[in-house]
Amino acid sequence: MEPDLGHALWAHRAQLARMRPRFEALRRAVDAPSDFPFPKWFALYALCLDVQPDLILELGRGYGNSTCVLVEAAHATGARVVSISIDPTGIWPERSAPRIRDVTGAAWFEPLDVREGDAGDVDLRDLFASAERPFLFWDAHSEELARHVLASRPGPMAVDDVGDVLSGEPDLSWYADQGLELYRIGDLYSAFEELPVIIDWLAQSERPWESAERSVARLLDREPAAHAVLAELGFPPTAVGGLLVIGSDA
């Protein structure tokens, strides 16, 4: 499976450990921790190191937790980042970006192309075709957008907010309290309606895919010491979950 999240966390553990203070500072600056749990910062960065993309496309920026990770990954890999999101006016340019600049300085923003608007209106096929190794981080939710993304010949990707029962059954009452319906397909579940669309597409495309939970479980089977080592470095692998990782075509 390529990219392989468990492998990436283990193979890049030294670099991930070096990133930890930076991630902590950026996370404080963004100040929206529940939008993107801290273990995912390491997971997303590790996936980018694994893929070595020349283009990273982010769909769904919000206050910008994942944007920070992806720009850090861009500095490590030489990629450019295109971030497309439809957000309340000003939350990136007026709120998050100045706070981040205080941590990073202005040059940090150079690889980042921030676009405000509906990703459904963007020719994503053209964007992916402009790169040799595009990587997609997908955290914007709707069935319509899912159809648009999957029709655009994406490369490898990580889809946020897809869980695997491997790490425990979802807490149905929590979802009900939020007024969310839960989609459950095999071992995967999500509160977002793109999951059935993605699973249909996977069945037809023969793309490799794996949940974060399963990839980490494979790592721990191969390297039983990995849990203690990675936990000591600050990112216990069993805390990583809620990402569906999809490989490329061939």
Q: Which residues sit at the interface with ligand SAM, rule CB under 6 A? A: 32, 35-36, 60-66, 84-87, 118-120, 139-142, 145
Q: How far is the CB of 209 from ligand SAM (least distance, A)?
A: 20
Which residue's CB is nearer to ligand SAM, number 60 or number 237? 60
Q: How far is the CB of 146 from ligand SAM (least distance, A)?
A: 10
CA distance 244 to 138: 10
Q: How far is the CB of 99 from ligand SAM (least distance, A)?
A: 13
Which residue's CB is nearer to ligand SAM, number 58 or number 164? 58
Q: What are 237's two structure tokens? A: 């692998």
Question: Among 220, 243, 218, which Cα is nearest to 230's?
Answer: 220
Q: How far is the CB of 88 from ligand SAM (least distance, A)?
A: 8
Residue 71's contacts (CB-CB under 8 Å, 6 or more residues apart) are 81, 108, 109, 111, 112
Q: What are 200's two structure tokens? A: 């249909």
CA distance 46 to 15: 9
Q: How far is the CB of 118 from ligand SAM (least distance, A)?
A: 4
H-helix or E-strand containing 62?
A: none
Which residue's CB is nearer to ligand SAM, number 87 or number 193? 87
CA distance 77 to 137: 16
CA distance 113 to 97: 12
CA distance 91 to 215: 34
- Residue 60's identity, in one-letter code, is G
Strands (DSSP E) found in 24-130: 55-59, 80-85, 112-116
Note whether 243 and 162 are within 8 A (CB): yes
Q: How far is the CB of 44 from ligand SAM (least distance, A)?
A: 9
Q: How far is the CB of 229 from ligand SAM (least distance, A)?
A: 26
Note whether 211 and 14 are within 8 A (CB): no
Which residue's CB is nearer to ligand SAM, number 32 or number 166? 32
Question: Among 109, 108, 140, 110, which Cα is nearest to 122's?
Answer: 140
